[in-house]
Amino acid sequence: MDNNSISVPPLFQPLTIRFVTLRNRIGVSPMCQYSAEDGVANDWHFVHLGSRAVGGAGLVMVEATAVAPEGRITPGCLGLWSGKHIEPLARIAKFVKSHGAVAGIQIAHAGRKASADLPWQGGAHLSEAQGGWPTIAPSAVPFGGDLPKVPRAMTDTDIARVQNDFVAAAKRALTAGFEWLELHAAHGYLFNEFPSPVATNCFDPDLIRLDATFTSPSGRNLTVPAFWYQDFSRALTNGAEVLTPTGAPQWRIRFTPTEPGNYTMSLNVQTNDVSAGKPAAIHFNVPVAQPSGRHGYVRVGPDKRYFETSDGRPLRLVGANVCWGENQGTFDYDTWFVSMQNAGENFARLWMSPWFLGLEHMPGRLNNYDLRSAWQLDYIFDLANQTGMYLLLCFDHHGMFQTNNRNWGGSNNFWKTNAYNQINGGPCEKPNDFFTDGTAKTIYEKRLRYLIGRYGYSPACSRGNFSMRLTTLIIPL
């Protein structure tokens, strides 16, 4: 038989990546063994990994190996944070290599998922009394479930330290004879937490704050908050509006320029109240507006008795209270606004309520806004622009502070589902606390910031005393 005619399947052919050649394409995944003491490898690891090399694998990876003690998933995880960890790993690397495999190692930091019990003991977070330790993460937001420990939000110093820990561990891995290094950036561990919206609260500017400052051609500065956004597509299914998320959630900025010319936008990012670095700047040009038949933004006239548009024309509002959509949601407004426009109306009132358009109006929504409602409100704002409607937006519904009012058959007593109510995890024991409690005020101000960023692209609502007392917002045409 002619040996040359036998073709070797690619799986068993060598693979060279830069200066490392694997004898075949079989790699043993890093697999935590939870069997170390103080991060030090022992005979278990030697046999576990050595036998994979003897078995013929091309690459044998050592499990997630913590770069710092607090970065271990469990007390049984391997580590490389000190010189004492090198020798037992060097023994393994040497043995793996002597049997023809390439020795690799994965270095890791478990972030807010660290300090957990061994999997066969349940894997839940360990208190310090149980042998656990305090955890760190990009934000002080717990993973939840069995891992409820609230991590300490990392400072710049922490970030620099962890970077150095990774560098030092990589050097120790090299000293130990490893030829292949992997950084663990998966499974919700520290690297994974930084870009992840679930490891922080994008609605909480104390944790993450994006502000865009626009400088106009005439030198005026206006700062607008960026807001967290999820796009949706809508469909009418059996008479009901169904919203389906489309694409990934993202930050967005809305700004309405009021002069033509060259603008600068400078984006400032803060995490945990600390600047994330020099603001990023972009430049853009706003062309001279074409005449549109529109009259500008709404403002209160000089005699403080009437509204006018920014071109000085009196604004007479005639319209209807179309406060919430029924089952058809935003589809209702398609019909209503067109009919109202045909009847010569130019005004509509909307309510942000527990059952429609509410962002923070249900249990579990405290500073955790309902992005579906927010999208519906975007849609209605756009529709208003197209149909010539000015909107009066009520930020809350009076029933949210009622406990036992008999009106409407008692159906308006929404205090029990109000997110600010203590029984729903909020700061307020009684409805009136909402108006006096400092924590409630701080949380509500975050909602106002969100509303300003998302819907306040009209100068009529982004200037003046909007955040102090108004419960309404009128959008421009």
Ligand X SMILES: Cc1cc2nc3c(=O)[nH]c(=O)nc-3n(C[C@H](O)[C@H](O)[C@H](O)COP(=O)(O)O)c2cc1C
Structure tokens at 452: 């300003």
Which position among 34, 189, 450, 455 bears the catalytic label?
Answer: 189
Task: Choose the stretch contacting ligand X; rule: CB under 6 A; options: 27-35, 131-139, 309-317, 425-433.
Answer: 27-35
Active site residue 420: no
Question: What's the min distance (Å) between Cβ of 60 and ligand X?
Answer: 12
Neighbours of 257 (CB within 10 A): 15
Q: Does 36 bind ligand X (CB under 6 A)?
A: no
- SS3 of the chain: helix, strand, coil, percent, to 5: 30, 25, 45
**185 lies in the binding site for ligand X (CB under 6 A):** no
Give the residue with the Cβ less far from ligand X, 191 or 347: 191
User: What's the CA gap between 308 and 346, in Å, rounded?
Assistant: 13
Which of 172, 184, 254, 446 lies at the binding interface for ligand X (CB under 6 A)?
Answer: 184
- Looking at beta carbons, which pairs linking 44-52 to residues 24 or more positions away fall under 8 Å? 45/78, 45/88, 45/92, 46/88, 46/91, 46/92, 46/95, 49/92, 49/95, 49/96, 50/92, 50/95, 50/96, 50/99, 52/28, 52/96, 52/101
Other C-beta atoms within 10 Å of 291: how many? 5
Query: Strand, coil or helix: what is 390?
Result: strand
Tell me the one-letter amino acid at 188. G
3-state secondary structure of 323: coil
Site string for ligand X, 257-296 (x = CB under 6 A): ----------------------------------------
Looking at the Cβ atoms of 185 and 338, the one nearer to ligand X is: 185
The C-alpha atoms of residue 470 and residue 473 are separated, in whole angstroms, by: 8
Q: Give the C-alpha separation, 359 to 274, whole Å.
A: 27
Distance CA 396, CA 393 (A): 9
Stretch that binds ligand X, among 28-36, 122-130, 141-149, 310-318 (CB under 6 A): 28-36
Q: Is 30 in the site for ligand X (CB under 6 A)?
A: yes
To ligand X, the closest distance from the beta carbon of 123 in angstroms equals 12
* # chain residues binding ligand X, by CB under 6 A: 9
Q: Between 19 and 120, whose beta carbon lies closer to ligand X?
A: 120
Name which position in 22, 27, 32, 212 contacts ligand X (CB under 6 A): 32
Question: Which residue among 11, 20, 31, 338 contacts ligand X (CB under 6 A)?
Answer: 31
Q: Which of 106, 330, 387, 421 is in the footprint of ligand X by CB under 6 A?
A: 106
Among 11, 47, 160, 186, binds ligand X (CB under 6 A): 186
Task: Answer for the pair 358, 331: CB distance below 8 angstroms, yes or no.
Answer: no
Region binding ligand X by CB under 6 A among candidate stretches 12-20, 23-31, 143-151, 351-359: 23-31
When the beta carbons of 160 and 186 are compared against ligand X, the nearer one is: 186
Q: Is 27 in the site for ligand X (CB under 6 A)?
A: no
Q: Considering only CA atoms, which of 391, 361, 390 is closest in space to residue 374?
A: 361
Q: Which is nearer to ligand X, 106 or 330 (CB)?
A: 106
* Beta strands at 274-275 and 240-252: parallel, antiparallel or unpaired: unpaired
Q: Does 64 bind ligand X (CB under 6 A)?
A: yes
**Site for ligand X contains 63 (CB under 6 A):** yes
CA distance 371 to 373: 5
Binding part of the chain for ligand X, among 30-38, 151-159, 161-169, 418-426 by CB under 6 A, reads: 30-38
The residue (of 78 and 474) whose beta carbon lies closer to ligand X is: 78
Q: Quote the least distance from Cβ 81 to ligand X, whole Å.
A: 16
Catalytic residues: 189
Q: Which residues bind ligand X (CB under 6 A)?
A: 29-32, 63-64, 106, 184, 186
